[in-house]
Amino acid sequence: ETESKHISHFFHIYALTVLSSMATNITPKGCGQNLDSIYYNLCSLNDVWGIVVEAIAAAGIIFSFVLFISVLANLPFVNDYNRKSSVALHAFFLVCTAGLFCLTFTFIVGRDFSTCASRRFLFGVLFAGCFASHLMQCVRLNLLARRNSGPRVWVLCLGALGLWLVEVIINTEWLVITIVPFNATANMNRSMAVPCDIANVDFVMALIYVMVLILAVVVASLTIMMGKYTQWKKEGTCILLTSLFSVGIWVVWIVMYLYGNGKTGGPTWDDPTLAIALVANAWVFILMYTIPNICCLTSNNENEHDYEEDLYPSQGVGYETILKEQSSKNVYVENKAFSMDEPNQDKPVSPYSGYTGQLRSSVYQPTELALITKAVGNVSSSFDMVIPRATIGSAANSGNSTPST
């Protein structure tokens, strides 16, 4: 009887394991038969949130790449050094924003060692990179709004790098302290989801430094509005609005992650909450900060180009252009009221003084014979002289062989 009981109990356990494995191996609608179960959220039509967030994140990656190329392409056309000094921070900010979109896929995919380690390490690191660049932009704009001259590019880059490395060190130590001793003592397989075996409170507590950066950006962006140079306040307004929206997103997902999920959907809502928070904040970065700043860069370049064209409106080589340039450069204007008393013969007269810039076909060009007759006529009229002519008189009256004049 005891053996039959053991055998029946064994078959009962075996039947339960087979049924549970069959239930877990059911492929959801929209996914392939040979697809691993951790990728079901990427294609399952039963859980539509994964497909929607995946599509929005993929669009954000493409958009971030296009904006990154446009920022680098506008660099040679930016003439103002104060604006050119921010291009490096813009590029670093876009790289971190694209990383946030890529990190969203780790929260859509199921949990294993690699995805859980990426979540814990990159979540704070990427957000720290975005807000560190924002904080250095605020430092630059505060100096520009007060002195109209900003710091060097290498100073801004070193400041952003230093602020970002603090979060890198914090997350590295956190992973080393929580993962390595546990694996060494338990000798667990690396395919198990050890990095995900943490409380939600611990995950939020590891992001305290990022929250400090967000508050610092809010305060620093408010001080930009107190400067006297108003042309730099537009970029400061974009940073202020971006930081305020980021604060709202962080408050919502932290409250939902710590309190709301436990009362409504349980742990199954944790991954969708974090994925939606990543996508929402990354799109806020692009729509409220990156695109307006790129538009400001291009509009300022066009205004400078139009000003240069108005300053030198014509660059041709025609006769009218030369005459306009000569008349604009001629500072000395002759007063004809006082020049009438001066003798005319002492003034050198240019042979081109009568040139008016007309076409060659409309200018009268006399021949050499006409010039000679005109000169002779002028001389006879001015000196009242008559050209002597030879007359033949009677040779007998003169008594000479030569004719009289």
Give 7-60 pLDDT, tens digit per residue: 554 444 444 444 444 444 577 777 877 888 888 888 888 778 889 999 999 999
Judge whether residue 171 has pLDDT over 80. yes
Mean pLDDT check: name the lowest of 66-80, 270-284, 387-401. Answer: 387-401
Dmax over CA atoms of the chain, in Å, equals 190
Q: Is residue 248 part of a domain?
A: yes
Residue 101 has pLDDT above 90, yes or no: yes
380 belongs to a structural domain: no
Return the CATH number at 209.
1.20.1070.10
Q: Is residue 145 part of a domain?
A: yes
pLDDT(103) > 60: yes
Q: Between 151 and 183, whose confidence is greater?
A: 151
For residue 45, what pLDDT is reported?
83
Which tens digit of pLDDT belongs to each residue from 219-236? Answer: 999 999 888 888 888 888
Question: 307 lies in a domain?
Answer: no
Q: Give residue 192's identity as a one-letter amino acid code.
A: M
Q: Out of 57-66, 177-186, 301-310, which region has the weakest mean confidence (pLDDT)?
A: 301-310
Residue 221 falls within a domain, yes or no?
yes
More confident residue, 126 or 77: 126
**Token couple for 124:** 């704070």
What is this structure's pTM? 0.68
Q: Interior CA angle at 75 toward 70 and 80, to 5°?
A: 130
For the purposes of burial, counting CB atoms within 10 Å of the CB of 55, is it exposed (0-12), middle (13-18) or buried (19 or more)?
A: exposed
The whole-number average pLDDT for the span 102-113 is 90
Calculate the average pLDDT of the chain.
75
pLDDT given at position 18:
40
* Overall average pLDDT of the 115-120 stretch: 89
CA distance 237 to 222: 8
CB 140 within 8 A of CB 160: no
Is 341 a domain residue? Answer: no
Q: Does a structural domain hold residue 191?
A: yes
Number of domains the chain contains? 1
The label of the residue with tokens 């198990």 reads 192
Continuous H helices in 187-269: 200-205, 208-224, 233-255, 261-263
Is 132 a member of any domain? yes
More confident residue, 324 or 83: 83
In this prediction, residue 226 carries a pLDDT of 87
Mean of pLDDT values over 157-185: 84
164: pLDDT strictly greater than 90: yes
Q: What is the DSSP letter of 149?
A: -
Res. 243: pLDDT tops 50: yes
What one-character DSSP code corresponds to residue 266?
G
The residue segments making up the domain with residue 134 are 36-297
**Mean pLDDT throughout 300-318?**
44
